[in-house]
């Protein structure tokens, strides 16, 4: 049978409708991908543009479900990939829910690693080497300290004013926070939780008081202390780094004495003779 003949006006209208439907579907896929919309809620959506959407297109917009995983889901549930959203029955929705649960449970949460030690010992040099390693995720702290030359906001730290930091404390946004040498430093909780759920081994590079808070609140955290080869070496590194005023260097050295005497509170101690070797030790401790 031939399709009915359409007048040019009807054809134009049909074309406009198709464009709107495509826009609806693209928006929905984007919202599912960003987590703004929940996949299963779309089975209740009665818009024709959505009920006529292919299940395979929607499924592949869910974070963590690509082509391969979608195919496995279709095979296991015996649902046809070309099925439209409006044609998925209650029992099939239930089967899809079970598949989602299986995926969630199979994703292992990552470990929380705290790297601490006196200022100038080389913690950030060590942790920075792991930035490109996708098994790890380095937390970016929030600080009220002034930005040093060469530092980048959002990469080295999130630099904020005192007011903003205090508001974040009130809003319970920090996993831990501490005062250090006249400035405040804190670890944003939400970002760390998300990275852990994503299966990343999260590294917090923080000072002693913060490490103690993590020890108290996160029982599974692994605490690693980085020690300098000697006191002389630490003093020389801090002074040669040339990033601090005389007053700040002195404040950091005073704190260093206290920090060094707390090494026994940590699960592991790594002596930073040489960066590559310390990085290798850190990785093997993290992945054991």
Known binding residues for ATP = 117-124
Helix (H, G, I), strand (E, B) or coil at 257: helix
Q: Which residue has the tokens 């020690």?
A: 227
Q: How far is the CB of 143 from ligand 5GP (least distance, A)?
A: 6
165 binds ligand 5GP (CB under 6 A): no
178 binds ligand 5GP (CB under 6 A): yes
Write down the number of H helices and E strands in the chain: 12, 9
Interacting residue with ligand 5GP among 60, 61, 127, 187 (CB under 6 A): 187
189 binds ligand 5GP (CB under 6 A): no
Stretch that binds ligand 5GP, among 57-65, 96-104, 125-133, 176-184 (CB under 6 A): 176-184
Q: How far is the CB of 238 from ligand 5GP (least distance, A)?
A: 9
203 binds ligand 5GP (CB under 6 A): no
Measure the N-to-C terminal CA separation of the chain; round to a whole number of Å: 68
The secondary structure of residue 230, as a DSSP letter, is -
What is the Cβ-side half-sphere exposure of residue 103, based on CA atoms within 13 angstroms? 17
Helix (H, G, I), strand (E, B) or coil at 234: helix
Could you give the C-alpha distances from 25 to 54, 83, 98, 201, 253, in angstroms and in order?
10, 15, 25, 36, 59
Interacting residue with ligand 5GP among 69, 83, 84, 145 (CB under 6 A): 145
Q: How far is the CB of 140 from ligand 5GP (least distance, A)?
A: 9
For 165-262, list the strands marked E by DSSP.
174-180, 183-188, 201-205, 222-227
176 binds ligand 5GP (CB under 6 A): yes
Read off φ and ψ for residue 148, nearest 5 degrees: -85, 160
Q: How far is the CB of 53 from ligand 5GP (least distance, A)?
A: 44
* CB closer to ligand 5GP, 66 vs 182: 182
Interacting residue with ligand 5GP among 206, 224, 238, 282 (CB under 6 A): 206
Q: How far is the CB of 131 from ligand 5GP (least distance, A)?
A: 15
212 binds ligand 5GP (CB under 6 A): no
Contacts to ligand 5GP by CB under 6 A: 119, 123, 141, 145, 176-178, 180, 185-187, 205-207, 209-210
């Amino acid at each position: 049978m031939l399709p009915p003949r359409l007048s040019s006006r009807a054809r134009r209208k049909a074309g406009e409708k198709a464009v709107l439907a495509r826009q609806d579907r693209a928006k929905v896929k984007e919202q599912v991908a960003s987590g703004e919309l929940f996949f299963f809620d779309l089975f209740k959506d009665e818009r024709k543009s959505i009920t006529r959407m292919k299940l395979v297109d929607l499924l592949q917009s869910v974070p963590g479900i690509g082509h391969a995983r979608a195919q496995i889901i279709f095979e296991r549930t015996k649902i046809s990939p070309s099925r439209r959203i409006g044609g998925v029955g209650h029992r099939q929705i239930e089967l899809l829910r079970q598949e989602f649960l299986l995926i969630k449970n199979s994703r292992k949460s990552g470990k929380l690693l705290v790297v601490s030690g006196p200022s100038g010992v080389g913690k950030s040099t060590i942790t920075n080497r792991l930035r490109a390693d996708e098994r790890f995720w380095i937390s970016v702290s929030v600080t009220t300290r002034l930005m040093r030359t060469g530092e980048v906001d959002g990469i080295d730290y999130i630099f904020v004013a005192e007011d903003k930091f205090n508001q974040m404390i009130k809003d319970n946004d920090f996993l831990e926070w501490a005062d250090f040498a006249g400035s405040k430093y804190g670890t944003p909780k939400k970002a760390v939780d998300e990275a852990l759920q994503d299966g990343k081994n999260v590294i917090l590079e923080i000072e002693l008081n913060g490490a103690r808070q993590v020890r108290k609140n996160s029982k599974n955290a692994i605490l690693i202390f980085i020690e300098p080869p000697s006191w002389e070496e630490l003093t020389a590194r801090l002074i040669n780094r040339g990033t601090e005023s005389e007053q700040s260097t002195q404040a950091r050295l005073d704190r260093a004495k206290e920090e060094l005497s707390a090494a026994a509170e940590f699960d592991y101690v790594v002596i930073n003779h040489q960066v590559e070797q310390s990085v290798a030790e850190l990785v093997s401790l993290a992945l054991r």
